[in-house]
């Protein structure tokens, strides 16, 4: 199981907000495929999956803010 963390897109960024989940639990995801949209103080972008697998759990719901490096979802890896 791979934990996907809130990224830190700038040295002074301390938190980010999930603006939209593009995948939901049970959805297949390819390595490099966008799983959600995140907004931070100076940037807004999609977060790509670092692995191929299936989204197992959403830990931070849309509209919620979390500190950087917080687990925002988990992905069950597949070959």
| Cα–Cα distance measured from residue 56 to residue 27, given in angstroms and rounded to the nearest whole number | 8
Domain 2-77, classified CATH 2.40.50.100, yes or no: yes
Q: Domain boundaries in the chain? A: 2-77
75 CB-side CA count, 13 A: 25
Cβ-contact 39, 7 below 8 angstroms: no
Query: pLDDT, tens digit, for every residue of 14-66?
Result: 999 999 999 999 999 999 999 999 998 877 899 999 999 999 999 999 999 99
The model's pTM is 0.89
Q: Please tell me the distance from the alpha carbon of residue 58 to that of residue 56, in angstroms, as a whole number.
A: 7
């Amino acid at each position: 199981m791979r934990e996907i963390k809130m990224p830190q897109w700038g040295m002074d960024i301390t938190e980010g907000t999930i603006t939209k989940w593009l995948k939901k639990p049970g959805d297949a995801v390819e390595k490099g495929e966008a799983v959600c949209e995140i907004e931070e103080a100076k940037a807004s972008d999609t977060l790509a999956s670092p692995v191929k697998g299936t989204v197992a759990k959403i830990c931070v719901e849309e509209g919620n803010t979390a500190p950087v490096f917080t687990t925002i979802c988990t992905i069950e890896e597949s070959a």
